[in-house]
């Protein structure tokens, strides 16, 4: 170690002696420092003069330290489940800069259905990236700055904390980018203060070795100061992705960003609000656990209500309980947004959503006649979600069924759960609305209503400037096509069937045109439309189906999938007998068919396929139960 330190000192001193004075006077070319600070917090970075601060999503899916560092080196990432094997290989940085185990990491990346290139960051910087650390400190962060051969350009040792800044400055005379592992947050201030002119500093908390999924504090010095960070990857103030660091540094240096990098340049947004960032992180860390607890409380509360209702009124009580349960399921989506805005404690939210949905359902069943009551939660819900999407989806992202950015798959728009349930809510609302207007019979007008609803929701979900979810466009498009087909008068023909099949494809084409025309710059646009070859599309399709297959094998999902498919098949077979005596049967048959089709299409077009099928079928079954349980005239079969 001492010998290496002496050699490094000699090399950096020689480099310092050879720097022309004119370059120092003018500041020379742009440079960058990537600093890893162990244990740094948002407050640590906010205290640095000139810093803009945010939080960084280190990985996609479950957090792993080595994967986070590899993603930094790649400027691109995919889900852990898409790798073969999913487990990261053991890597270690040797004293001479070689990364032991690198070949295994490269083979693993090559097998992934995505353009993943470990070491692409350092290989895109002329001369590579130097690395500074101290004796006894972890060298793991150097993995992020190894080149494609698995080598770090220079491994330099600083014997003391005070020597770290000097070593870094000296290395920047020979290298345009230096990475440094600081001993603590206090060392960041002198590093920033004494950096060479035109030097960008990207500081982030060193990825810890724990397995807890989290967002890591990150700071940028060299751009606008005292702001909140964001990027086009996340489109959310305060959030960036680990894969954004490499493109940010390369653009600062004036170097081209390789096409394999999917990260985007980090930018500054609104004024820095550390308390707001801390609150956002705290919210995202509880969303998943509260999601399942809330659904559990809703199921338990409904079961208690159903038992009491059956005890009091037998079949009449059961019919009432099913209607209330169905309406509560429909109220669930609209209720999630105000609770996301309020961000209450655990029990107030879990019980508030569950009991609130049941209370609103019971009130609605009493005040609005059967079977048109679903129009109320449907209109409120669809309008609320479309408006929130138009404003950047701030409430959807932090709601219990939103796309939790903590796991790095989606940072804005809607998640898989909403992708499959919003169409059910919309189709149900259209059918109920048609009953209100007395236009529920099969007709061109009814078909236009379903088509218009599908168009509005599809644009909101799919546009790059709103939801940016191409899978959602397929889901909504397929559901709307089937609903329109069932709403049109006349018999089913081959021409109508062909049009129904083509609608989702045409919807994706329309999305592409809309996104390119409006500059939406969604992930779909960047990864497929501007990829330049067919390989990107092939990778996207392969990745989606591999992840869907992984989801299908998880837990009880195989059983739930079989039940969902069986329910859809049974409904299709008995479609003429499905809704005996229900007013507006044509509209309701179209709504149920469209909802089921949305679930099937979502399963075939999404990386969480079975989940979408199960959730859409679950919602559709409840709507069917509501229709079968009229207050008096229609007898209800206890099938739910």
Per DSSP, the residues of 389-416 read HHTT-HHHHHSTTS--GGGSS-SSS--H
**Residue 27 pLDDT:** 59
Q: Taking Cα atoms as reference points, which of 387, 269, 281 lies closest to residue 338?
A: 387
The SS3 assignment for 513 reads helix
**Residue 219 pLDDT:** 97
**Residue 3 pLDDT:** 39
In CATH terms, the fold of domain 2-18+27-272 is: Alkaline Phosphatase, subunit A (3.40.720)
CA distances to 104, 209, 427 from 108, in Å: 6, 21, 44
Q: Taking Cα atoms as reference points, which of 560, 557, 385, 591 lies closest to residue 469?
A: 385
CA–CA separation, 439 and 447 (whole Å): 11
pLDDT tens digits along 578-590: 898 899 999 999 9
Residue 616 structure tokens? 């859409």
Q: CA quadruple 16, 22, 24, 28: dihedral positive or negative?
A: negative
Residue carrying structure tokens 């001492």:
2
CA distances to 233, 308, 563, 625 from 303, in Å: 43, 9, 21, 15
Residue carrying structure tokens 């969303």:
287
Q: Taking Cα atoms as reference points, which of 551, 510, 386, 73 lies closest to residue 524?
A: 510
**Residue extent(s) of CATH 3.40.720 domains in the chain:** 2-18+27-272
**Residue 296 pLDDT:** 96
**Residue 538 pLDDT:** 57
CA–CA separation, 373 and 436 (whole Å): 9
Indicate the angle between helix axes 609-628 and 557-573, nearest 10 degrees. 50
Query: Which residue numbers in the chain have pLDDT < 70?
Result: 1-27, 463-469, 501-502, 504-552, 633-640
pTM for the complete prediction? Answer: 0.84
CA–CA separation, 457 and 462 (whole Å): 8
pLDDT tens digits along 518-572: 555 555 555 554 444 555 555 555 556 566 666 667 778 889 989 999 999 999 8
**Residue 141 pLDDT:** 96
Output the CA torsion 42→45→51→57 (10° steps): -50
**Residue 461 pLDDT:** 84
The SS3 assignment for 439 reads coil
**How is residue 98 annotated by DSSP?**
B
**Residue 471 pLDDT:** 74
**Residue 537 pLDDT:** 53
CA–CA separation, 138 and 183 (whole Å): 10
Which residues are paired to 271 by β-bridges? 227
């Amino acid at each position: 170690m001492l010998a290496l330190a002496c050699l490094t000192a000699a090399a950096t001193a020689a480099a310092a002696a050879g720097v022309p004075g004119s370059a120092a006077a003018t500041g020379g070319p742009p440079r960058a420092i990537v600093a890893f600070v162990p244990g740094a917090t948002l407050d640590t970075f906010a205290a640095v003069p000139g810093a803009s601060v945010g939080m960084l999503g280190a990985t996609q899916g479950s957090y792993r330290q080595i994967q986070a560092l590899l993603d930094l080196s790649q400027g691109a990432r995919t889900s852990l489940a898409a790798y073969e094997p999913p487990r990261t290989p053991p890597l270690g940085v040797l004293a001479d800069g070689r990364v032991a185990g690198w070949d295994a990491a490269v083979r693993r990346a090559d097998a992934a259905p995505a353009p993943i290139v470990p070491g692409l960051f350092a290989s895109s910087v002329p001369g590579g990236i130097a690395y500074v650390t101290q004796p006894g400190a972890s060298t793991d962060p150097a993995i992020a700055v190894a080149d494609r051969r698995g080598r770090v350009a220079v491994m330099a040792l600083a014997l003391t904390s005070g020597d770290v800044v000097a070593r870094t400055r000296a290395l920047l005379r020979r290298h345009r980018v230096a990475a440094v592992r600081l001993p603590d947050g206090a060392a960041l201030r002198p590093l920033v203060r004494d950096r060479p002119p035109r030097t960008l500093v990207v500081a982030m908390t060193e990825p810890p070795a724990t397995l807890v999924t989290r967002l890591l504090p990150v700071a940028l010095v060299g751009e606008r100061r005292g702001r909140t960070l964001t990027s086009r990857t996340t489109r959310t103030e305060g959030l960036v992705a680990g894969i954004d660091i490499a493109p940010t540094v390369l653009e600062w240096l004036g170097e081209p960003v390789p096409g394999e990098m999917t990260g985007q340049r980090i930018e500054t947004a609104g004024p820095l609000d550390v308390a707001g960032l801390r609150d956002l992180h705290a919210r995202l860390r509880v969303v998943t656990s509260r999601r399942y607890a809330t659904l559990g409380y809703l199921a338990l509360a409904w079961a208690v209500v159903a038992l009491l209702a059956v005890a009091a009124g037998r079949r009449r009580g059961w019919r009432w309980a099913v209607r209330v349960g169905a309406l509560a399921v429909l109220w669930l989506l609209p209720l999630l947004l105000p609770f996301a805005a309020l961000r209450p404690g655990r029990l107030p939210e879990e019980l508030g959503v569950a009991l609130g949905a049941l209370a609103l359902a019971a009130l609605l069943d009493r005040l609005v006649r059967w079977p048109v009551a679903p129009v109320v939660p449907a209109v409120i819900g669809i309008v609320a979600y479309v408006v929130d999407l138009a404003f950047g989806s701030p409430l959807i992202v932090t709601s219990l069924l939103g796309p939790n950015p903590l796991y790095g798959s989606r940072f804005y728009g809607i998640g898989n759960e909403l992708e499959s349930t919003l169409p059910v809510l919309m189709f149900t609302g259209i059918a109920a609305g048609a009953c209100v207007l007395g236009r529920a019979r099969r007709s061109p007008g009814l078909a236009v209503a379903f088509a218009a609803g599908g168009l509005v929701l599809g644009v909101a979900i799919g546009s790059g400037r709103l939801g940016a979810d191409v899978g959602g466009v397929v889901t909504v498009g397929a559901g709307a096509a089937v609903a329109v087909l069932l709403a049109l008068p006349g018999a089913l023909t081959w021409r109508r069937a062909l049009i129904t099949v083509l609608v989702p494809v045409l919807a994706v084409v329309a999305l592409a045109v809309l996104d390119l025309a409006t500059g939406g710059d969604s992930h779909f646009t960047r990864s497929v439309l501007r990829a330049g070859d067919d390989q990107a599309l092939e990778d996207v399709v392969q990745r989606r189906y591999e992840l869907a297959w992984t989801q299908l094998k998880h837990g009880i999902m195989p059983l739930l999938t079989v039940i969902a498919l069986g329910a859809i098949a049974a409904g299709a077979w008995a479609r003429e007998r499905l809704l005996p005596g229900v007013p507006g049967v044509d509209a309701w048959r179209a709504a149920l068919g469209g909802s089921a089709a949305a679930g099937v299409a979502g399963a075939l077009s999404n990386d969480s396929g079975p989940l979408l099928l199960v959730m859409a079928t679950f919602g559709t079954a409840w709507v069917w139960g509501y229709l079968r349980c009229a207050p008096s005239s229609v007898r209800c079969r206890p099938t739910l």
